[in-house]
Each structure stands twice: as C-alpha cells, then as structure tokens.
Amino acid sequence: MARPMKIRARLVGDYTDIRVLMAHPMETGQRKVKGKVVPAHFIENVTIKVNGKTVIDGQTSQAVSRNPVFAFRVKGGAKGDKVEIGWVDNEGETNSIESAVA
Amino acid sequence: MDEGRRVVLRSAGATGALAAALAAGLLRPERVLAANWDKSAFRQKSTAEALTSIGAQDAETSKNVLLDVPEIAENGAVVPVEITSHVPGTTSISVVIDKNPFPLTSRFTFMEGALPYVKLNVKMGQSSNIRAIAEANGKHYVAMKGVKVTIGGCGG
C-alpha cells in the first residue's frame, strides 16, 4: 500500500460516474536531477472492473500527469455495484482499490 | 502523512516475503492482471508513426468525437483532456500529442457497457496539437485541437 489510491463511484442519471486517483510519480525518463536522468517509472495499465467484469482496459504512457486522475462512465449500474480499479507500472509494481457504487 | 510511513515500516516484513515470492517467479503482476502494453506504439517518436502503429493513419475527421482541452495551458505538466465519442460502436479512444517526445499518450478500450468517455490529465512538453482518436467498426475517427503551453511539462 505504498502508493495510495482513491476511488469514487456514483450513479448519475443513467450512468455510473467513476473517478479514481492514483498516487504515482509518473517519471518520464526525460527529467534530470543534478545532471542524472531520473529513470522512467510510470503506470502502463489501468483496468476497471464492475462486478468482476472488465469494462475498461487502459494503456498509459509517461505523458500522463503525476498522480493520475481519471474519470470514466459506465452505462446503467445500480447502487451497491462493486467497482474495482487496478494498475500495473513498468517496474511491475501494482495496486488496486474497490468501492461500491453510491 | 506520518501514518503512511508507519504503515510502510510495519509492512516491511511482509514486503520482504513478497519480494522473495517475486524473485522465485511465483508472482507476476502482469500475468495476474493479464495486462498488455503496446510497447511498439508507445515508443514511436513521430506522430505519423504513432498513428500508423494504432492503425489510425487514415482517420476521418469527425464532429462526433468531442475533445475538450484548454486553449492555453499555463502548466504543461497538468493539461486536462476530456473525450466523448458519439460515433456508434466506439470500442476505443486514444490520445496523441503531436509534439511530445512519444506522441501516443494513452489508449482506452471499452467493453461491457462502458461509455466511450474518458477524462485525464496529460503532460505537454510544448504547444502542440492534441488528437482524440475513436475506433469504431474497424474505422478511426479523429478530433484535433491546439493547446498553447506556457511552461513545459517534460524535463526540468
């Protein structure tokens, strides 16, 4: 749990609004500190599941901002549906979080 | 945030065990999530090559792809991008930033009732065009807008 995440899933009219925040440095591999390149370190895959089924499969690059925030929408849904979001970065680090639709 | 540090320290023992498991090849994160990263597409350095690598070199300009970006971004490190596709049957949305060192920024695939919508923040090294590319029934549709960046978001 070294890199915390936050999630919020809400029913808005006829769709479920899913917002997620992932604490991650998202290093580009272009930045230098005291003349030394900071190695690239970024999230490559983001997966969103609703009630165990994958609904969105995201691939991301180093050009996504630090501490990424995403918003997604899923048609329909009901309060209490289980939303699970996970990520994997280029070093194989991973984290996930789940929440019920409110 | 001191509490976070406590947690890290306390879980250090558990982390050790995890590292051992990783070393033994028992756990492979990429396999657990069955995730793929299209390295060849993400590593292209020119916009033309990036577009070709995702099959969008002949993308048709479409008003049904809505791309919402600021005209002027004061900080290139955080540029909000919001994309909605009204193209029927959209299965994926990709974001390409022409003048970034690696133009392809992200790609989202939608299934099982997910709406073709995404909002995220991206980094821009300099003023550039941003393209939102929607894929539907094997065809690609694009919306493009220019964003002026006052302070770049790459390098430092």
Which is the CATH superfamily of the domain at A5-100? Immunoglobulins (2.60.40.10)
Domain with CATH 2.60.40.2470 in chain B: 37-151
Q: What is the pLDDT along chain B (156 residues), one digit of tens a residue?
A: 455 555 544 555 555 555 554 454 444 444 444 458 999 999 999 999 999 999 999 999 999 999 999 999 989 999 999 999 999 999 999 999 999 999 999 999 999 899 999 999 999 999 999 999 999 999 999 999 999 998 766 654
Pick from B74, B133, B73, B138: nearest CA to B103: B133
Domain ranges of chain A: 5-100
- Contact with chain B for residue A51, Cβ under 8 A: no
Residue-averaged pLDDT of chain A = 95
- Contact with chain B for residue A82, Cβ under 8 A: no
Q: What is the pTM of this model?
A: 0.84
Residue B105 and residue B103: Cα distance in Å, rounded?
A: 6
- Chain B residues with CB under 8 Å of A50 CB are 112-113
ipTM of the complex: 0.95
B29 φ/ψ angles, rounded to the nearest 5 degrees: -50, -45
In CATH, what is the architecture of B37-151?
Sandwich (2.60)
- Contact with chain A for residue B19, Cβ under 8 A: no
What is the DSSP code (8-state) at residue A74?
Answer: E
In tens, the pLDDT along B101-131 reads: 999 999 999 998 999 999 999 999 999 999 9
Query: How many Cα atoms within 13 Å fall on the side-chain side of residue A52?
Result: 0
